[in-house]
Amino acid sequence: MRVSKRLAAILAILLTFAMVAAACGDDDDGEESTTEDSGSDTDSGGDTDGEAVSGSINVSGSSTVEPISTRAKELYNEQVSGDVEITVNGPGTSAGFKEFCPGNTDINDASRAIKDTEAADCVPNVELRVAFDGIAVMVAPSDPLECVTLADLYAILGPESEGNTWEEAAAFAAELGSTTEGWPEGTVQVIAPGTESGTYGSFIEIVLEGPAEERLEAGEFEAQVDENGDPVLIRNDFAGQPDDNVIIEGIASTDSAIGWVGFAFAEAAGDAVKVLEVFNEETGECVAPNLETIADGSYPISRSLYIYVNTDKAAENPALVSYVDFYLGDGYVDSVENAFDEGVGYVSLPDDLKAETDAAWEAAKG
């Protein structure tokens, strides 16, 4: 009987050790699982300390970049933290910089690079290129035009063309060397972005600035000047619209209208408008804007898209760093390429340019 009690005692001790060992094993597994989850959060832009990220972020600026930042916001709140309140507005690039540079917003979306005059008195910030976009030139579906040259666009929309008819625009384009046929009739109705939009400035820079400056230097016309004393290099007889969707709706319902928006907006509009091809002078071919032609630069009216991040605020706001980490990390491709809907978005950066953006952000956040 004494032997049985001794065995029972030994068995009890062994059982106790087994239970302790099992508990220790469970603790190790739990710690490993927690580490993996924390690492996942870090990879997708979460707090590196494994704590829940919270706070608020104010994003403003370009209506063209707005869908990318909005998609990144949605994915971030789903995948990283629902406790970060992210506000995204799109009043236009220039209007956005007016809020960003005094420090009223955390991020400015921009469809052009910041101007020297804006940068001179702006909060410390980092410029991050995030995508490519083409500017789509649109007319109503009934318009007979199919392809236009840059000379045609200058004749229609340049500073010498105020109040013109389509017939006058065709004659002016012919003087500039165009051989385009199939012009519409009636008075040209311009429905396009206004001065607050980066798309407005980009269109001038890419399409109108070169020929306008050449003709100014040659004394072909006398330009109006803006409030800064700079020449106005676009016709000034239309009311600019800050909302790309309003522009598309206006063109769709106006037979004699022409205008432009970011390619992704035009693509999302489907058959509501006709997107014109643009003649590539180097290849001698008319090129339609699409993801491939914008990425390889064969479409003549292409540009870069940016976000600007207030680096002082990034140093004080972990949520802002977390959001931009995710924007450029796990959320990047989806946010850019599916900005409007599955498969409807912008052109993501090639690896070399994306690496430059990533390096700039890593350096900026320290």
The 10s digit of each residue's pLDDT in 141-185 is 999 999 999 999 999 999 999 999 999 999 999 999 999 999 999
- 273 and 251 Cβ atoms separated by less than 8 Å: yes
Share of the chain above pLDDT 90, in %: 77
108 shares a domain with 216: no
The residue-averaged pLDDT of 326-339 equals 97
Same-domain status, 259 and 310:
no
> What does the pLDDT average to over 295-314?
95
DSSP count for the chain of H helices, then E strands: 15, 11
Residues 199 and 298 in one domain: yes
Q: What is the mean pLDDT of residues 179-208?
A: 93
Residue 45 in this model has a pLDDT that exceeds 60: no
Report yes or no on 352 lying in a domain. yes
Q: What is the pLDDT of residue 24?
A: 42
Based on the fold, state whether residues 294 and 147 are members of the same structural domain.
yes
Do the domain assignments include residue 203?
A: yes
pLDDT per position as a tens digit, 237-253: 999 998 899 999 999 99
User: CA 18 → CA 28, 52, 206, distances in Å?
Assistant: 15, 36, 75
* Strand 277-280 to 285-287 pairing: antiparallel
Q: Write the CATH number for 233.
A: 3.40.190.10
From the list 321, 339, 322, 348, the residue with the least C-alpha distance to 129 is: 348
Contact yes or no for 113/205 (Cβ under 8 A): no
Q: Domain boundary residue among 258, 285, 303?
A: 303
The 3-state DSSP class for residue 327 equals helix
For residue 235, tell me if it sits in a domain.
yes
Instruction: Select the more confidently predicted residue: 292 or 47.
Output: 292
Q: Which of 215, 79, 85, 119 is nearest to 158 (CA)?
A: 215
Separation of alpha carbons 356 and 347, rounded Å: 16
Strand partners, 147: 277
Residue 31 lies in a domain: no
* Final residue in a domain of this structure, among 303, 321, 343: 303
CA distance 4 to 286: 97
DSSP at 337? H
- Residue 18 lies inside a defined structural domain of this protein: no
Domain shared by 174 and 274, yes or no: yes
**Are 170 and 268 found together in one domain?**
yes
Co-location of 154 and 287 in the same domain: yes
Say whether both 149 and 225 belong to one domain. yes
CA–CA gap between residue 343 and residue 351 (Å, rounded):
20
**How many whole angstroms separate alpha carbon 205 and alpha carbon 248?**
22
106 and 232 in a single domain? The answer is no
Residue 47 is assigned to a structural domain of this protein: no
154 lies in which domain range? 134-303
What is residue 51's predicted lDDT score, i.e. its pLDDT? 67
Nearest to 238 by CA among 180, 278, 279, 197: 197
pLDDT tens string 341-366: 888 889 999 999 999 999 999 999 98
Residue 184: inside a domain: yes
End residue of a domain, out of 277, 303, 329: 303
3-class DSSP state for residue 258?
strand
In a domain, 11, yes or no: no
- Are 299 and 309 members of one domain? no
CB 256 within 8 A of CB 186: yes
Domain count, the chain: 2
Angle between helices 66-79 and 318-328 (to 10 degrees): 110
Distance between CA atoms of residues 182 and 169, nearest Å: 12
Residue 326 and residue 224: Cα distance in Å, rounded? 45
H-helix or E-strand spanning residue 302: strand 302-310
The set of residues, in sequence order, having a beta carbon less than 8 Å from that of 63 and lying 6+ positions away, is 90, 91, 92, 197, 199, 242, 243, 244
What is the CB neighbour count within 10 angstroms for residue 47? 19
Calculate the CA dihedral of residues 246, 98, 120, 216 and round it to 10 degrees.
40
Q: How far apart are CA 260 and CA 233, in angstroms?
A: 16
In a 13 Å sphere around the CA of 261, the CA atoms on its Cβ side amount to 29
Whether residue 232 is found in the same domain as residue 83: no
Q: Are residues 104 and 252 in the same domain?
A: no
